[in-house]
Amino acid sequence: MDTVISPTLCLIRLNDVTSTNDEARRYAALGVNDGTLIWADSQSKGRGRQGRTWTSPPGNLYMSLLLRPDVPPADALQIGFVASLAIAEAVDAVAPSGTTVQVKWPNDVLVNGKKVCGMLLESSMKSDGSAVDWLIIGMGVNIKVAPDDTPYPATTLENEGVSGLTVGDLLIRAINRFEEWRGRWTAEGFGPVREAWLARAAGLGKPIEVRLPDDALKGTFRGLDDAGALMLETPDGTRQITMGDVFPADDDAEAG
């Protein structure tokens, strides 16, 4: 059963799926509108970035938002920053005072320095390559359960002192923040989103290591460019990084 949860979003709630991103791709192929949100209780084949798996037992939030943003392909990934900012603000609103809620490039959310949320963005271009046909933002938030074997340390909202938060409450809070920030992004461009995202960014101005599939780069995290690439200052100049995982450099455990 589809439910309209806001003027611009339609929710499809499912029990167990392989991956909400798989479901969203299926709906995209059927031609559904911008603003279709797939929410599942659990996933048997949850997918993370760079081919990793995403542990997905019941108790956490697993959702994928299908969008058809009317922007050039180069701007489409900016919306991942809209989404991570929205989740961070939703988490901040329910966390005990004194909790540190940060974003980590590209689209993770950290609570007290540990990861609670990851995002998997997938997209498809129109056949002439001129514009985005669909973009899926898959979001996983650890409320009750977190893996203990991840490259970046993970935690749950419950471990960090958030009690009594249902999965549905968090979904509604996150979607409300997303809609507000998406509206600003549409009206004003990437500038305000980038500014708010950087105000919460882990490691900004600090030494970081960016791990790529076959390499690792070290430098100082200097911000985001117009497309959302990470600007890494290295001894050879500033590099724009478009993929990878960010870790604090060995000598700076605070950067994460």
Query: How far, rounded to the nearest angstrom, does the alpha carbon of residue 39 sit from its chain's CA centroid?
Result: 15
Peptide bond into 151 cis (omega under 30): no
**Could you tell me the smallest distance in angstroms from the CB atom of residue 58 to ligand BTN?**
13
Per CB under 6 A, contacts with ligand BTN among 174-213 are: none
69/138 with CB nearer ligand BTN: 138
Residue 111: strand, helix, or coil = strand
108/209 with CB nearer ligand BTN: 108
Query: How far, rounded to the nearest angstrom, does the alpha carbon of residue 238 sit from its chain's CA centroid?
Result: 25
Q: Which residues pair with 132 in a beta bridge?
A: 125
**The binder of ligand BTN chosen from 41, 42, 48, 169 (CB under 6 A):** 48
| Residue type at position 66 | L
**Is residue 62 within the footprint of ligand BTN (CB under 6 A)?**
yes
**The binder of ligand BTN chosen from 5, 10, 12, 20 (CB under 6 A):** 20
**Is residue 21 within the footprint of ligand BTN (CB under 6 A)?**
yes
Supply the DSSP symbol for 128: T
Tokens linked to 96: 């005990």
**Could you tell me the smallest distance in angstroms from the CB atom of residue 24 to ligand BTN?**
8
113/140 with CB nearer ligand BTN: 140
Q: Are 138 and 21 in contact (CB under 8 A)?
A: yes
**The binder of ligand BTN chosen from 12, 19, 173, 202 (CB under 6 A):** 19
**Is residue 256 within the footprint of ligand BTN (CB under 6 A)?**
no
Supply the DSSP symbol for 105: T
Pairing of strands 2-6, 9-17: antiparallel
Mask of contacts with ligand BTN, 108-127, x by CB under 6 A? x---------xxx-------
**The binder of ligand BTN chosen from 36, 43, 102, 156 (CB under 6 A):** 43
User: What span, in angstroms and rounded, lies between the C-alpha atoms of 108 and 105?
Assistant: 6
Tokens linked to 22: 């798989």
**The binder of ligand BTN chosen from 6, 8, 34, 49 (CB under 6 A):** 49
Tell me the H-state helices in the chain: 20-29, 73-76, 78-94, 167-188, 190-199
Mask of contacts with ligand BTN, 126-165, x by CB under 6 A? ------------xxx-------------------------
Cβ-based neighbours of 69, under 8 Å, separated by 6 or more: 34, 75, 76, 79, 132, 135
Supply the DSSP symbol for 214: T
User: For ligand BTN, which residue has the nearest CB?
Assistant: 118
Mask of contacts with ligand BTN, 70-99, x by CB under 6 A? ------------------------------
Residues of this chain that interact with ligand BTN (CB under 6 A) are 19-21, 43, 46-49, 52, 54, 62, 64, 108, 118-120, 138-140
